Amino acid sequence: MDVEDEAARILAELRAQADPVRAANEKRYLKSDFTHIGVPMPALRKVALPAVKTKPARDELVALAEALWDVTEEGRPVHEARMAAIEILAKRASSLEPQDLGMAERLIRDSASWVYVDHLAEKIVGPLVIRYPELATALDAWVGDPYMWIRRTAVLALLAGVRTGNPDLERLDRFGDALIGEREFFIRKALGWVLRELSKKDPEWVVAWVEPRAGIMSGVTLREAVRRLSAEDAARILGR
């Protein structure tokens, strides 16, 4: 793969589908300072994913993603280029290696919105940690990181294990207690989201963890955590 040529192709095809009205609406919705082209995700995937159909080597995959991530227009990152980078990495996440956690961290630290962070956490970091369990120690550091999006990633990366039926309950317990007093909405929401997903498979664990903490848990975390519990359990916990 010629990384430069492939990145140029993707950008050209995205720009050919520009929708200024959609771009303005999306920019406003995301409260974004980035450049927006106005391409919906299904169309964006159709443009980006042919780049990885031939299963490029890992170094080519990472180089293409980083090239797209670093695209700027008038000094601003390009939203669709960054989303294309994430989709390319996610499609071939099984090619990534332990050292690529550093690349993922760089992208997260360079993010300014849930729209990038959530995909990176769920589709890149989480699967890497499942494949290389020793990387989970990075999450232990991230959960106390000053940067809010890194803390959110530490929590949301646990979703991969929850969804594959191998949840890291020990870390969820620790991370939950570490973050239960968080003031950031996006952290409170993330913790509730992971608990909600776990409750679909292990409601007993969620009830046992949430109930004694209901009085100190933020409203947004609590509402998410009980959303999929039985009506009886939810009512009892909310009543506390």
Mean pLDDT of the chain: 95
The dihedral through the CA atoms of 36, 38, 43, 47 has a sign that is negative
* Rounded Cα–Cα distance for residues 199 and 212 (Å): 16
> What confidence category does residue 1 fall into, taking pLDDT thresholds of 50, 70 and 90?
confident
Task: Give the rounded percent of residues in the chain with a pLDDT score beyond 70.
Answer: 100
Q: E-assigned strands of the chain?
A: 72-73, 76-77
Give the C-alpha distances (Å, rounded to integers) separating 207 from 13, 213, 222, 229.
49, 10, 11, 8
pLDDT at 240 over 70: no
Query: What is the set of domains in the chain, with CATH numbers?
Result: 1-95 (1.25.10.90)
Site of tokens 């995700």: 41
Q: Is 76:23 a contact under the CB 8 Å cutoff?
A: no
* Residue with more model confidence, 87 or 239: 87
Q: What share of the chain is helix, strand, coil (3-state, %, to 5)?
A: 70, 0, 25
* Rounded Cα–Cα distance for residues 153 and 170 (Å): 17
pLDDT at 224 over 90: yes
Tell me the HSE value of 126 on the side-chain side, using a 13 A CA sphere.
Answer: 24
Q: What confidence tens digit (pLDDT) does each residue in 190-202 have?
A: 999 999 999 999 9
Which of 54-58, 114-118, 224-228, 231-235 shows the lowest mean pLDDT across its residues?
54-58
